Amino acid sequence: MMINMTAKFYSGNAGPLFQLKRSPENICAYIIYVTPLFEQANQTRHMQTRLALNAYQLGVESLIYDHYGCGDSGGELSQASLSLWQQDLIAQINAIKAKMAQDVPFNANPSSKPKPIYLSCLLSSALVLNSDIIALIDGLLLAQPEFNGKRFVQQFKRLALASNLTKTNNIEQNSTEIEIAGYVMQPSLLDELSQQTLTQYESIDKHCHWLEWSDSDQLPMARAKQQQLFSTKSSDSSLTVSAINDVKFWQSTELTLSEKMLSFEEQTLRNLLKEAGSTEQGGSC
């Protein structure tokens, strides 16, 4: 089956961003796969591609893009900030909304709802979220999300140190940049990430489907507490938590797929489309 895919650069808030878009003929909904940070981007790219292909079969247009200063996007990581990445994500969501408004037929039913927009966040990509972003979307798909920025930054530094890749000296004399595991950045970026926590959200009133990897039916106590907080921030929230015992593909030394995760997200999207009033038969709405 031929896939209608476009690869392009578009104008981000600070420079060009590289984007892959897969657009079915009849679009039922939209999903943005937010890229995880640093080395996790390389470890998860193949999995996000498979997820996007599954979404395509359901009539869901998908976007996968590189953050500014990362991957094939413009700029250097040393020029990036968390707030810039958040602004870029907001701009992409608003661009989808603007396109939908332009595509509405002249004689359309004024009571018809716009097509839903979902975000899929895997691992550290959840650290890019904030309340403004969540307010713009209709649903959130989380997979082993990291909501503790301080812990993520500490692990990032620890892994680099274990690999003897951390440089404790500045790259150049009087330079404010640091290099960790081959990534050159401003210390302020790590400071921003360290301040990211689950408690920052004022309200979470969206459909949220949370997937966890677990060796048993019981989730770790720390994760259970996180999920309880996530589900009680708003009386309108709808949280579904699922656990799988499957390969942790982002830790594999080879390209490995999690078939259980693929099945989970495919079924979740089907359910979300039904709840939104969309029907899909072979990818058509």
Q: Summarize pLDDT for 15-64 with one digit per residue, the tens.
A: 999 999 999 999 999 999 999 999 999 999 999 999 999 999 999 999 99
Question: What's the whole-model pTM score?
Answer: 0.88
- Residue 11 pairs with which residues in a beta bridge? 16
- Residue 16 pairs with which residues in a beta bridge? 11
Angstrom distance (rounded) from CA 245 to CA 264: 12
| Domains with residue ranges and CATH for the chain | 5-147+205-283 (3.40.50.1820), 149-195 (no CATH)
Strands 178-180 and 183-185: antiparallel
Q: What is the residue-level pLDDT of the chain in tens, covering all 285 positions?
A: 688 999 999 888 999 999 999 999 999 999 999 999 999 999 999 999 999 999 999 999 999 999 999 999 999 999 999 999 999 999 999 999 999 888 776 556 655 678 999 999 999 999 999 989 999 999 999 999 999 999 999 988 887 665 555 444 444 444 578 888 788 999 999 999 999 988 777 667 778 888 999 886 666 666 777 777 666 555 555 778 888 889 999 998 888 999 999 999 999 999 999 888 765 444 456
Sign, CA dihedral 169-172-176-182, equals: negative
Q: Summarize pLDDT for 98-121 with one digit per residue, the tens.
A: 998 887 765 566 556 789 999 999
Total Cβ atoms within 10 A of residue 201:
18
Residue 124: which region, alpha, beta or left (left: phi > 0; alpha: psi -120 to 50)? alpha
Which structure tokens are listed for 173? 């004399």
Which residues, other chains included, contact 134 with Cβ-Cβ below 8 Å and sequence gap of 6+?
140, 201, 204, 206
Nearest CA among 82, 95, 98, 188 for reference residue 130: 82
Phi, psi of 61 (to 5 degrees): -75, 135
Which structure tokens are listed for 274? 């039904």
